[in-house]
Structure 1
Amino acid sequence: MVWTVRKTKLALALFILTLAMLGAPAGGQLLGVSTAHAQTIRSIAVEGNRRVEDDTVRSYISLQPGQAYSEAGASESIRTLFNTGLFSDVRLTMRGSTLVVNVEENPIINIVSFEGNEKFKDDVLTSEIESQPRSVLTRAKIQNDTQRVLQLYRRAGRFDATVEPKVIDLPDNRVNVVFEVQEGRKTSVSRINFIGNKAFSDSALRDVISTSEKNWLSWLKTSDIYDPERLDADQELLRTHYMKNGYADFQVVSAVAELDRERNAFFITITVDEGPLYRFGNVDVEAYVPDVDPQSLRGEILTKSGAVYNAELVDKTLEQMTLELAKSGYAFAQVRPRGDRDYSAQTISLTYVVEEGARAYVERINIRGNTRTLDRVIRREFDFAEGDAYNVVLLDRAKRRLEALRYFKTVNITREPGSAPDRIVINVEVEEQPTGELSLGGGYSTSDGFLADVSITERNLLGRGQQLRVAGAMGERTQSVDVSFTEPYFLGRRLAAGIDGFYRYREYDDNSTYESKTVGGGLRLGFQLTENLSMITRYRLYQNEITIEHPLDDGNLCYPVSTNADGTINYNAGCTLPGDQDPTRAYYNPEASIALKLAEGRRLYSVIGYDLVYSDLDSMARPTRGFYGKFSNDIAGLGGDAEWVKAEIEGRYYHPIHNQIVGMLKLRGGVIEGWGDDDVLITDTFFGTSNLVRGFGNSGWGPRDLTPGGQRDAIGGTVYAAATAEVQFPIPFVPSDLGFRGALFADAGVLTRPGFTGNPTTGLPGGAGYLLECEGINADGSGVVPAAATGCYVDDASIRASVGVSVLWDSPFGPLRADVGYAVLKEDYDDEQVFRFGAGKQF
């Protein structure tokens, strides 16, 4: 009975449901389930929009009149409308046969402002974000902008900075956006530790990488800020350092930066595996290209058997061989190094294999990202052009050249297949960086006193790769103005042509009594002869004026000679006393050296010359290994008032003695001789400066005018030679990243043969005058004047020598150096200077 009732109720329910389904109208709902998908859309109505036109909204709808409504089409339309960024809400409904699109528009940004920012100005932050006035505000845009500002602060070392966006509603669906910034403290790198290094100390490796530790100079630098990209670059710097110092198996195992939030500091740990020290074994050349003689390429080899392995020299050898082959007509020849390690002997034997490469041509060179630099400035760094043979070695060389220009923050070169199998397209992607520099300088030196200078330099003038520099300096005893322009690719070749203008003023009142003023200009042309040898030719035309302060040039030399019994004083012959002079009081009226008086006045100089420079130093700023040599030659007399020939030579050799201890030997010499009918004036000769032999004053040693009653002027010499031996070392207990080093030095030098000192026919203000070498030295230190001369000088050609200690500082103000030198070989008339300090500043 129960079963019968239940069966009857179930049948009744099924009957009612069937009737309902058959009678339900199209587009209606049954038990809450929409049947709108069965309807045909007759029209589309847009509601809620105030700024956006109806037709604009309809253009984003995939459902169109005449189509059947579908949930898939509605979902796609809603998604498309949201993706426009114009709306914060979208709803689609069917109202009869009309599709109703109800939208809620995103507000328009009225003002974007920042609060609490001091590190970055508003315009800097505004340029970083996407939200701008009169643009549409979206939640995603605000979130992205917040992260961009945070990332900017993190790149500046502010890892605890916070940014909170605030949206302030205004009438007419407008808003103001305020980013509230709490910059926090600077998060610096507190410590950089190395694990696994044995060949180089932690401090030595810290000098290699660009990231530095926090110290008391951190307010002047940004290198102590943790930057993941910089840390990646540091790993490459370490690899390069080890690879060029013999560690061919070197690798960085890990580089980890840990943030200590309590101390607001990063601790970086770099783990390395140095591997053994290798030397070059046998070095050979094999050629598999017809008519290429391997012996002809041996002169390009820079890697010598028995020397410490250096990957940098391997790369340079590849470049030089490739260029030599290309010059000989073998455009497709490729050179690759084949290394053979002998682990027991710790040597790497190298064979440079020359073989015919794939015949591939450069179809096109695409240059992108250069908004300022002209294309031709980039293209000229390539040793090949479109249509030439493709060579990967030359491509790598071009990349290094572009990076060395310092025009670009990044340089990426990629390649892709061209229109044919033997065609290659090269893509050059660059990111430009500022190339203008404003330098302000200040400092002090014991020779020039306090100094101040300013210079403006543009390395990439108008994007043409030219350099313009304007500089000025002023000090207690010196003034100067310099203007120079350089075209590095003169006539489309690698010739650096330049034009210069200059003004110089200098007071020589420490060991001589004159002033020098020089105004002129010059032309120059420089070029590379080989990888390490360069030459600079020059021509200068300038006017020099020598002025002697009155009354040092009035010809009235007076000094006491003896005292009579009544107390009156006798003076030297030729002395004219003032009319009111007390005869019992000593009167002095010194005179400048006759040799200086001969140089007084204006003279025009026309000088042509050249410099020949060789350098294989590992660093020009702070060398530790290699040789530097320079030979200079100048000839005056192609017009003008002076005729002389001057030659100078300098050589410096650096060699590491032990970990961070570097030895240096330096030799210098020079000679100047007159030609034609001209003698060399003493103002054109060399002077015994403290740069040659420390422990002496500026112009403090060498030939000197010892005429009784005179100024004891230094008169220089036409021949000099000097030598220096120095050992530089880290200062114990002083962190190396502070840039301090110590040095012990020994200097020696000789200066002899003064320039023109007059002759019996010389006419000077106050009468005739000329100098001869003194017959001796009086008890008071003056010279014994020969009977035929008006005055005398001393030139004993003796060696001066000194020893001492130095402190060097690679400071943010530029290189600073303090020397304490003691003269161990000297003459009584020399001017000693125990302490010497020099400074310069660039910031």
Structure 2
Amino acid sequence: MKIARATPMFGDFSRTFLVILNLSFATMLIAAPSGPAQAQTYQITTVEINGNERIEDATILSFLELSPGQGTTAAQLNDAFQRLQRSGLFETVELVPAGNRLIVNVEEFPTINRVNIEGNERLNDEALLTVVQSQSRQVYSPSRAEADAAQITDAYAQSGRITATVQPRIIPRSNNRVDLVFEVAEGAVVEVDRVSFVGNRAYSDRRLRRVIASKQAGLFRAIIRSDTFIADRIAFDRQLLRDFYLSRGYVDFEVLSATPELTRERDAFFITFNIQEGQQFRFGEITTTSDLTEVDPDEFQEVNRIRPGMVYSPEVIETMITRMERLAVEKRLNFIRVEPRITRNDADLTLDLEFAVIRGPRVFVERIDIEGNATTLDRVIRRQFRTVEGDPFNPRAIRDAGERIRALNFFSTSDVNTREGSAPDQVIVDVDVEEAPTGSLGFGVSYGAEAGASFSINFSERNFLGRGQLLSFSIDTGSDNQDTNLRFVEPAFLGRDLALGLAARFETTDAQFADFDTEEISFSPSLEFPVSENGRLRLSYRIAEDTLSDADDDLSPIIRRDVGSRITSALGYTYIYDTRATGLNPNAGVLFRFGQEFAGVGGGQEYIRTTGLVLGERRVAREEVTLRAAFEFGAQESLSDNSRITDRFFLGSRRMRGFDGDGVGPRDLDSEDNDALGGNYFAVARFEALFPVGLPEEYGITGGVFLDVGSVWGLDDVNGTVGEDQPDGIVDDEFKLRSTIGFSVLWDTALGPLRFNFSRALISEDFDRERSFDLTISTQF
């Protein structure tokens, strides 16, 4: 890139040319050889330096590297001339030999007064100045200014503006100073207009587009930036495709080429991935062997969960190796490594797998060095290692630690590498990270046909004060309710894998289901820890005060007897088992959650409350269709007084679509508004299938069908009395099944996910309150 200047450039090429011509001409005139040709020499005794203002004479002499009094050849003078030019300190250099004197005339480059960037709007000055090497009070260097302009151009290319141009200019100031100005023409964002694949048979283009990071421009291309073309993202996409196919058994998969093609208008790219899938392989025979006398292969084989016929996946092998090496540590077997040995059987497309338990080299971890964490404390990163200084070195354990560091989502980049320490049997682990934003501020709006519009604001910091702690605060307010939550989590309480949680809540409702108000304030500490590879257990305590007030006289007596305040003090536990992200099958997963709460540890409430959820999902039809089934239940057994309406279960649209929040369950038909009472028991089964609807995937629109079946039932006492003159209400609280069927339209927009549910009740009671349409909107900025 040629440098344009606001004023004529300092120096002139013709002057340099005349210097070289003068040297050559002087060489010919000083001595005309009468015999054979020989190199011209000069007897220089003194050096005269002119034109330097800031640069010391001694500095210039050091570049000349000449010895006064000794013979100096023309070649040596030329070398001296080149060294002065390459120093970058002078705009022009002139060497003139005059008898026994060497006259050095120089003109210094000016100093930079200040550095400015003009014309930039998308990227601010602070972001761009970080990539600029030229600084104020430095000597101006044209080559450095050109390099800085290239760096700014690259910064714009990373943000998708590959047509951006940067022109460095200098503006002269007094005292041989200049202002360096980078004039930026940002250009337009170049989008990815189309992503296509060649050679794919097992999976459609639609499915593969969901794998890669590059996205096609959609309806909200002015807002979404994931469709911006970034050249460096192509290499990442290639790796994502390879990981996707390998995890599904395609061991010969290869990306033959990835070609981005600029459109004729130069405003978009077409990206074409030429791939070769190969054949899908499955696991064949699985064995475990060892030549070590202290190792029993059968014990290691027992922890293996791979079965013949399963689709081959490197992730599954890594999981089993981790299990086996963990077993070795539990049995106090140091330096044990598990080496997978694979035998390929092309005839039946299987891979026989042998886990060889061997002894690795006797290497120890000397230390763990952490760099780049400007905010996050060292201990937050260090506790992701199961290895400490002095432990036997286990490469797999170090890789697992690197994965856990990346899973924190505290860093934009994180690299974990090893190098030799102070001795051959010592290893130093280097951790290099780069901080990323971990806080978020969200604003939301939602709409429901029952509750109307509601608004929310939430703040979350996932790395509070760099300690790895979670702090969140949210306020949700609607037409008839307000919910405020404060939550704090310390994930490594007492330096262990023990999460300490503190939660506080304040909720008020105003005639949400009937003509009465409620208020609840609660505080709940908890401890959560792992109990298995995919299971966690949470122990909790909750103390709460709930108040029911402003009950109308025509309300059901079963509700009016709950008027007043009640304190609940309860201990509880929750067991969670989740394989959706860590299971052996990438296309299927199970979530199981079961919990109980025991009230009566003080307070006025005594009951046992049990809730549970079982959810399974699987992708079928070449992973185009997602099938999901869930069964949820709850039961509350009162140990003293009758249950309160604030404690009983309701089936809203979140649990069962097609009905209002108070639309299903026991109801007092003798009351003026047929008041809903809720129930002590509920059970609901939900079945759902999500699938593409044929529209381009960049629109973000998918479809779904669902079937929900469930009921709410059971009261402690169907006759409520409030005073002697109040007649009893008669309520049918028997189990009565309801079911709904419907279809959904899901739209993943830039402003958040939208879901439109259209439903129809198949089985219902006459007094149920149905809802045929429901829309949920949530957004975060």
1:185-220 Cα distance to aligned partner (Å, 9 max, x none): 210011111111111100001011111001111222
Q: Mean alpha-carbon deviation: is it higher for 805-814 or for 750-759?
A: 750-759
> Which of 561, 586, 593 does residue 598 from structure 1 map onto?
561
1:396 corresponds to: 399
How much has 1:95 moved relative to structure 2?
A: 5.0
> Which of 810, 817, 840 does residue 755 from structure 2 map onto?
817
How much has 1:496 moved relative to structure 2?
A: 1.8
1:433 corresponds to: 436
Tell me, in whole angstroms, the C-alpha distance in 2 between the residues paired with 1:624 and 1:731.
21
Question: Would you say the 8 A contact 2:720–2:728 is kept in 1?
Answer: no
1:450-469 alignment runs, 5 A limit: 450-469=453-472
Q: 1:259 to 1:329 in 2, by over 3 A?
A: same
1:477-504 Cα distance to aligned partner (Å, 9 max, x none): 3323322222221111111222223322
How much has 1:691 moved relative to structure 2?
A: 2.2
1:29 is the counterpart of 2:30: yes
1:448-527 alignment runs, 5 A limit: 448-509=451-512, 511-527=513-529
How much has 1:750 moved relative to structure 2?
A: 1.5
How much has 1:723 moved relative to structure 2?
A: 0.6
Question: Would you say the 8 A contact 1:367–1:427 is kept in 2?
Answer: yes
Tell me, in whole angstroms, the C-alpha distance in 2 between the residues paired with 1:100 and 1:619.
77
How much has 1:176 moved relative to structure 2?
A: 2.3
Tell me, in whole angstroms, the C-alpha distance in 2 between the residues paired with 1:116 and 1:439.
31
Question: Would you say the 8 A contact 1:497–1:525 is kept in 2?
Answer: yes
Question: Would you say the 8 A contact 2:461–2:470 is kept in 1?
Answer: yes
How much has 1:655 moved relative to structure 2?
A: 2.1
> Which of 117, 120, 127 does residue 120 from structure 2 map onto?
117
SS at match of 2:770: coil
1:743 is the counterpart of 2:744: no
1:326-352 Cα distance to aligned partner (Å, 9 max, x none): 121112110121222222222222221
1:291-440 alignment runs, 5 A limit: 291-440=294-443
- If you compute each CA radius of gyration, which structure gives the higher value, 1 or 2? 1
- TM-score, scaled to structure 1: 0.84
The one-letter amino acid of 1:594's match is P
> Which of 189, 193, 197 does residue 196 from structure 2 map onto?
193
2:293 corresponds to: 290
Tell me, in whole angstroms, the C-alpha distance in 2 between the residues paired with 1:610 and 1:236.
42
1:540-689 alignment runs, 5 A limit: 540-548=542-550, 552=552, 555=553, 591-618=554-581, 625-659=588-622, 660-675=624-639, 677-689=640-652
1:643-792 alignment runs, 5 A limit: 643-659=606-622, 660-675=624-639, 677-708=640-671, 710-732=672-694, 734-755=695-716, 762-763=722-723, 769=726, 789-792=727-730
Tell me, in whole angstroms, the C-alpha distance in 1 between the residues paired with 2:353 and 2:242.
20
Q: 1:517 to 1:128 in 2, by over 3 A?
A: farther
Q: Mean alpha-carbon deviation: is it higher for 734-743 or for 394-403?
A: 734-743
Question: Would you say the 8 A contact 1:497–1:523 is kept in 2?
Answer: yes
> Which of 768, 790, 800 does residue 738 from structure 2 map onto?
800
Q: CA RMSD in A?
A: 2.7
SS at match of 1:142: helix
Tell me, in whole angstroms, the C-alpha distance in 2 between the residues paired with 1:75 and 1:600.
102
Q: 1:635 to 1:357 in 2, by over 3 A?
A: same
Q: 1:633 to 1:419 in 2, by over 3 A?
A: same
> Which of 202, 207, 212 does residue 209 from structure 1 map onto?
212
Q: Mean alpha-carbon deviation: is it higher for 304-313 or for 696-705?
A: 304-313
Tell me, in whole angstroms, the C-alpha distance in 2 between the residues paired with 1:545 and 1:373.
43
2:535 corresponds to: 533
Alignment identity in percent? 34
1:549-589 Cα distance to aligned partner (Å, 9 max, x none): 5xx1xx4xxxxxxxxxxxxxxxxxxxxxxxxxxxxxxxxxx
Question: Would you say the 8 A contact 2:447–2:776 is kept in 1?
Answer: yes
Q: Mean alpha-carbon deviation: is it higher for 405-414 or for 95-104?
A: 95-104
Q: 1:842 to 1:27 in 2, by over 3 A?
A: same
Q: 1:93 to 1:609 in 2, by over 3 A?
A: farther
Q: 1:407 to 1:79 in 2, by over 3 A?
A: farther
Tell me, in whole angstroms, the C-alpha distance in 2 between the residues paired with 1:27 and 1:736.
78
1:108 corresponds to: 111
How much has 1:80 moved relative to structure 2?
A: 5.0
SS at match of 1:51: coil
The one-letter amino acid of 1:136's match is V
SS at match of 1:290: coil
Question: Would you say the 8 A contact 2:756–2:775 is kept in 1?
Answer: yes
2:770 corresponds to: 832
The one-letter amino acid of 1:693's match is M
Q: 1:29 to 1:757 in 2, by over 3 A?
A: farther
Tell me, in whole angstroms, the C-alpha distance in 1 between the residues paired with 2:546 and 2:67.
90
SS at match of 1:313: helix
Tell me, in whole angstroms, the C-alpha distance in 2 between the residues paired with 1:380 and 1:72.
64
Tell me, in whole angstroms, the C-alpha distance in 1 between the residues paired with 2:516 and 2:77.
95
Question: Would you say the 8 A contact 1:302–1:316 is kept in 2?
Answer: no
How much has 1:790 moved relative to structure 2?
A: 2.5
The one-letter amino acid of 1:306's match is G
SS at match of 2:676: coil
The one-letter amino acid of 1:330's match is L
How much has 1:164 moved relative to structure 2?
A: 2.0
1:116-195 alignment runs, 5 A limit: 116-195=119-198
Q: 1:371 to 1:750 in 2, by over 3 A?
A: same
How much has 1:600 moved relative to structure 2?
A: 2.3
1:3 corresponds to: none
SS at match of 2:130: helix
How much has 1:813 moved relative to structure 2?
A: 2.8
How much has 1:842 moved relative to structure 2?
A: 2.4
1:444 corresponds to: 447
1:757-800 Cα distance to aligned partner (Å, 9 max, x none): 6655x54xxx664xxxxxxxxxxxxxxxxxxx422223232100
SS at match of 2:458: strand
* Unpaired runs of at least 5, structure 1: 1-24, 556-590, 770-788
How much has 1:36 moved relative to structure 2?
A: 8.3
1:527-561 Cα distance to aligned partner (Å, 9 max, x none): 22222112222222232222335xx1xx4xxxxxx
The one-letter amino acid of 1:374's match is L
Q: 1:476 to 1:100 in 2, by over 3 A?
A: farther
SS at match of 2:283: strand
Tell me, in whole angstroms, the C-alpha distance in 2 between the residues paired with 1:838 and 1:344.
53
How much has 1:650 moved relative to structure 2?
A: 0.7
